[in-house]
Amino acid sequence: MSTTMVAALNAALRDSLRADANVHVLGEDVGALGGVFRVTDGLAAEFGRQRCLDTPLAEAGILGTAVGMAMYGLRPVVEMQFDAFAYPAFEQVFSHVAKMRNRTGGQMGLPITIRVPYGGGVGGVEHHSDSSEAYYAHTPGLHVVTPATVADSYGLLRSAIASDDPVVFLEPKRLYWSAVDFSPAEVSTAQVPPIGRAMVRRPGTSATLLTYGPSLPVCLEAAAAARSEGWDLAVVDLRSLVPFDDETVCTAVRATGRAVVVHEAAGFAGVGAEIAARVTERCFHHLAAPVLRVTGYDIPYPPPMLEKHHLPSVDRILDAVARLQWEQ
C-alpha cells in the first residue's frame, strides 16, 4: 500500500485518538479543513469537533490552553501551522512547557506534542520555510524529534503522543508527499520506534554523513553518487535531536574515522555545531579529519527562486567529503 508521510501522520493521530480518550488535537484549521497540509484530515468528523478543535488564531493562546489541558491530565497534540508561525508561542514553550516538570519537582509533567511543519524546499514564500530546530533543541525540558521516513513519521508520532514529556515534533514539509509502500495498520506497538534512538540508514566504510529530517534523502542521494568517486558513505538519520543518541552516532563515526554533518538550518550555532563538537570530544582519536558541516548559509531563508542555492545539495555534500583529508 503506497502511503505518503501526510497519510502516515494522519494515521498516527487517528490511532492515538482511538487508543486514548485523553488525546486531543487542537490548532488552526485542523477541523473541517483537515489542516493546511491535511494531516488532520477527517479527525473532526470521526472524533468530533471537541477532540479536533479549531482554535482562535493565536499561537501563544493555543499553547497556553494546551498547558492547562495537560495540567488536568489530557494529552494535547497541538498543530502549529508553519515553522515561523510557532514563534508567537515561544514564551509558552520555553517558560512553561519546557520547565513545568522541573519547576514542580516532578509533580507536574506536561505530555504535550507540538507538531511543527518545518523547513524549506517547497517553494514557499517568506516565513514558510524556516528550520527552527535549534531554538527548541537548545531548551532543556523539551524532546525534539524529526522523522525522515514515512514509517518513522507514523511510529515517532505515536511515541511522541505517548511520551510523558513535551515533544516538539518537527515534520519536514518537503517530505510530506513522499510515498512508500507502508501500512500503518501493520505496525504493532512493539515496532514503534522509541524516542532518542538514531538509525543507520546506509552502512558505509569511507565516511559518515550525520543528518536528519529533510536532509536525509539528499544525503542518501549523495551517498549513491559517491560510489562513482570510490567512496562508500554511511548515512545516519538522527531522528531525535533531544535526547541525542551519542552511542549510535559515535559508533558510526568511529567506524569510518570521517564525518560530515548535514542540515538545512543555518550553520552558526546550529544543531550541527553541537553534533560536530560532541563527535570531536568523543571520537577525536578515531578521526582522520575535522568534522565538517554542510548547512544552510547564515542568512534569513531565501525567496523561493533562490532557495536551491541555500539548501545542502548533493554537490555540496560531495565537496565536503572530498575535503576530509584523504591523502595523508
User: Which of 42, 68, 290, 300 lies at the binding interface for another protein (CB under 8 A)?
Assistant: 68
Interface with another protein by CB under 8 A: which range of 145-153, 209-217, 226-234, 237-245?
A: 237-245
Computed from CA positions of residues 69, 75, 79, 84, in that sequence, does the dihedral angle turn out positive or negative?
positive
Q: Which residue has cell 531554538?
A: 135
User: Which of 4, 14, 24, 172 lies at the binding interface for another protein (CB under 8 A)?
Assistant: 24
Interface with another protein by CB under 8 A: which range of 96-104, 144-152, 222-230, 320-328?
A: 96-104
- What φ, ψ does residue 245 adopt, rounded to 5°? -90, 80
Amino acid at 161: I
The question of whether 285 is a catalytic residue gets the answer no
Residue from 128, 143, 263, 310 carrying the catalytic annotation = 128
Residue closer to another protein by CB (options 50, 188) is 50
Interface with another protein by CB under 8 A: which range of 146-154, 160-168, 248-256, 257-265?
A: 160-168
Q: Does the protein bind another protein through residue 244 (CB under 8 A)?
A: yes
- Greatest extent of the chain over all pairs of C-alpha atoms, in Å: 65
Orientation of helix 150-162 relative to helix 5-19, angle to 10°: 30
Helix locations, the chain, DSSP H = 5-19, 43-47, 59-71, 90-92, 100-103, 133-137, 150-162, 216-226, 246-256, 271-283, 307-310, 314-322
User: Which of 3, 55, 131, 153 lies at the binding interface for another protein (CB under 8 A)?
Assistant: 55
Residues 6+ away with beta carbon under 8 Å from 212? 146, 148, 237, 238, 239, 241, 263, 271
Q: Does the protein bind another protein through residue 92 (CB under 8 A)?
A: yes
Instruction: Give catalytic residue positions.
Output: 128
Interaction site with another protein (CB under 8 A): 21, 24, 50, 55-56, 58, 60-61, 63-74, 76, 88, 91-92, 95-96, 99-109, 140-141, 143, 163-165, 196, 242-244, 246-247
